[in-house]
Structure 1
């Protein structure tokens, strides 16, 4: 059986994590423990990598063979249906599973991967070189292929050096033969693509190609990330995976989009960088996933409270955003005006005057947008 590591409650929804070629399950060290709070996380190793036996595959192996090993592992663990996330070759395995075994996959995240890997020749040549010379020389170039300049994860580079050459070459054979582009439109599971903006191996265009072809798929690009984004930018990858796979962050993202609109949320996501990723995750989980989903108050009532609080603290940029949100939540312009008039009594007339100016401008923009769409 494929070597694996399991974390999290046995009764939690299962989530399988697949590695990139040359790495081990250590690729997920900064992410798996966090995901295991809400999921039964299973990290698996490629043949000849980590603790997996090298003879699980041989020359001429395919991604379908690797997907078969994952399904066998899931069966052995008593897992019928699972969420799946994978990096590079691990992501290709996820695409294959979603395309050919959709009954087993509940949702999918494909990270720094592709529906094809730039043709067969480079991988055939790499497989030949590795079978002839081993992995030592190739491991010396791992940092430039995997990370942005100046960054490294010694444990992963050592895993690359210690992988079994024959099994590694067989994985190269699988990449050489892989091309799933014609099957992408058939994928129906919820799908997230995550691209590293600095990734030379599978640049964002490769992930965009998948996102454009898979119905309903979404794409997140992570600044400052190369090919092994989960190791180099774990906070940003974690936030994206939490949003996709469920829990408060996922529910919060749905409410956030419903209240603030897709355009605003998409802009916020596009501006996200590793420095802000944890704050964005906190907002999605706490503000939108717990507070705004509490049924004690209606969204109309929450909008009135929010408008008042923003006026009280002079947060007029946020006020503009929440005037739009209030209209989405069913407040009329007259009701918004009445709320702001109330703030004149308890927050002060100057604050209310500033708020009314902001609200007047935003309501005019909303009306204009409505007229254009009519």
Structure 2
């Protein structure tokens, strides 16, 4: 991993040592030597978390290395394509488009063709009609009169389409969403999406490791802003059994 960092994003360890030697030491010791080896989250999931944070914050210097690393760690081209599509809605179209050229170059280099990426209009996963009706009704009551366009797109484009695309498992789609929300500091959205992620199979230990991973890739303030919210969510789930 150390060599890849130097060779794929244009910043070598020699460059770092010449400018900020302590940063190079922290990178080798804490990120390369420890963080990615922690047992609480698979390297595949760490790649999903990291890619989501980079795209959400448009941190383009990290794209080449971490996209290659994600594919090496078991993220499929189909899944990577869905992550980019999903984050257009949760981080904005410009941020999603910012990674397109890098992913296309990576696919070309690896011989990934069109058959390996998802269809634009696949057969969707089954919809939880009861749960979605309750969500839509609640949002409509709160915001429908003032923001009918947002409410309508939220129902039609997100929860009756995007969230049902089969190219990314529901648990992983929620993991990507939670990672982007933390990276962007949008902690008020975490209760709904973290509960959804845990209902789909994300564990408490994995949730904690997501925050640990993002402390390095989005900064300590992002992690500490999320921790009280996540702590409350986890405590409520324990009480509810």
TM-score between the two structures when normalised by the length of structure 1: 0.29
Counting helix residues as a fraction of each chain, which structure ranks higher?
A: 2
Which is richer in strand?
Answer: 1
Asked which structure has the greater CA Rg, the reply is 1
Relative contact order (C-alpha < 8 Å, sep 6+): which is higher? 2
With normalisation by structure 2, the TM-score equals 0.44
